Amino acid sequence: MKVKRYIGYTAQEAMQKVKDEMGKDALILSTRKIRQKGLAGLFKRPLIEVVAASEEGDVNFPSKRTTPVYNTTNYISSIKRDDTAKVLEKLEAQISNMGELLNKLASNFRTIEVREKPGIKQEYLPYYEMLIKNEVNEDIAKGIIEKAGLIYERGYADFERCIRQVLMEHIGTPRPLEVSAGQRKVVVFVGPTGVGKTTSLAKLAAIFSIQKQMRVGLITADTYRIAAVDQLKIYAEIMELPLSILYSPREMVEALEEHRDKDVVFVDTAGKSIRDRAQEREILELISLSGADEVYLVLSCNTSYSGCLNIIKSYSFLPDYKLLFTKMDEASNYGVILNCRHLSGKPLSYIATGQSVPDDIEVADPGKLVSCIMKRVEV
């Protein structure tokens, strides 16, 4: 190896000297400004010093080095500068291959995770995975797959049809509100805070009064917050419906007397926190004093499985109810419906799909729900 110092008045001049003597592939070890020797040098132009190296007698030494390819620095320094574009291309290709490889590995891990589930046949696994992607609880999903498997083994040609059938059964027949003129029904809305009880009540009140031309009355027992009364008052004024405000459950009898000529009376309650026993007693009193014909437990589609479990448990004090799901527009899957149906055994009623009153509510449609759930299957 030959190492040599080159001096020039400019960097270009010094580099030209390196190139002339060592060739274009010489390795530059350092570059710096230097002063000429002696006192006079202080007042003169600084010089540029370049220290370069080359293999003795061979101007092309860098390309001749054998360098292991696994080290990027060595890999790059081992090539001719002219090849930079080619190498970049090669690196790009390698990085993209590595990306693909990582994606494959990641999807294999996901599959392995699911494939390790005991007791599920290989051919049913994509459907199990579909339920898990919908955030259906693992045990509930397994139960659904096993049921479908039993039907399939009885000689059905198509497993997908079996799973559809089981999902339809699991969702069950929805039971929306049925009102007959002259036979007053009292309908109470209960549920956790902020799930959309008042909004759903307002949607149904509008549908029954404006679209179905029924005589509708409103009662609110949610006097914990001033804003809660105002919220329903505004809807009542817009729809020109009479509203009674209860400050204690005992006022229910009197309020219902005010609505004796109605076909349906909707009763709003305050959101209940999970372990509030006093509120449970109040809800029970409201239900019993109103002689409620129907109770709707309102739940948000954004609820996790453990959330569903807690809510369903905490409302087990209710003698009977129907499930009304809200915020379907914000949910990324449908597992919550299957989970709550399984946990409560109560029928579905309506599904709310947005904030707009009265448009964003519909009677739950099992066929539509099953199709939405099945969209996530990749066989």
Ligand X SMILES: Nc1nc2c(ncn2[C@@H]2O[C@H](COP(=O)(O)OP(=O)(O)OP(=O)(O)O)[C@@H](O)[C@H]2O)c(=O)[nH]1
Instruction: Using CB under 6 A, list all residues that contact ligand X.
Output: 191, 193-199, 222, 228, 271, 326-327, 329-330, 352-355, 360
CB of 222 to Mg ion, least distance (A): 5
Gap between the Cα atoms of 356 and 346, Å rounded? 26
**Residues 295 and 188: beta-carbon distance below 8 Å:** yes
Q: Which residue is nearest to ligand X (CB)?
A: 271
Q: How far is CA 319 from CA 65, 172, 287, 298, 322, in A?
A: 85, 20, 9, 16, 11
CB of 298 to ligand X, least distance (A): 6
Stretch of 194-202, 256-264, 292-300, 302-310 lying at the interface with Mg ion (CB under 5 A) = 194-202
55 binds, among ligand X, Mg ion, none (CB under 5 to 8 A by kind): none
194 binds, among Mg ion, ligand X, none (CB under 5 to 8 A by kind): ligand X
Please report, as a single letter, which amino acid is at residue 1: M
327 binds, among ligand X, Mg ion, none (CB under 5 to 8 A by kind): ligand X
**Residues 204 and 365: beta-carbon distance below 8 Å:** no
**Residues 209 and 217: beta-carbon distance below 8 Å:** no
Chain CA centroid to CA 13, Å: 63
CB of 201 to Mg ion, least distance (A): 8
360 binds, among ligand X, Mg ion, none (CB under 5 to 8 A by kind): ligand X
Gap between the Cα atoms of 133 and 309, Å rounded? 19
Report angle CA 350, 357, 207 to the nearest 5 degrees: 60
SS3 string, 148-166, reads: HHHHHHCCCCCHHHHHHHH
**Residues 45 and 9: beta-carbon distance below 8 Å:** yes
330 binds, among ligand X, Mg ion, none (CB under 5 to 8 A by kind): ligand X
Gap between the Cα atoms of 163 and 127, Å rounded? 8
Check residue 200 for interaction with Mg ion (CB under 5 A). no
Query: Using the rule CB under 5 A, which residue among 54, 137, 198, 220 binds Mg ion?
Result: 198
Stretch of 23-31, 177-185, 193-201, 364-372 lying at the interface with Mg ion (CB under 5 A) = 193-201
Greatest Cα-to-Cα distance within the chain, rounded to the nearest angstrom? 117
Residue (16 or 333) nearer to ligand X, CB: 333
Gap between the Cα atoms of 118 and 212, Å rounded? 52
CB of 235 to Mg ion, least distance (A): 11
Let me know how long the chain is. Answer: 379
Element of type H or E holding 348? strand 348-352
Stretch of 56-64, 68-76, 132-140, 197-205 lying at the interface with Mg ion (CB under 5 A) = 197-205
CB of 336 to Mg ion, least distance (A): 20
Total number of residues binding Mg ion (CB under 5 A)? 2
353 binds, among ligand X, Mg ion, none (CB under 5 to 8 A by kind): ligand X
Residue (177 or 228) nearer to ligand X, CB: 228
Query: Which residues would be at the binding site for Mg ion (CB under 5 A)?
Result: 197-198
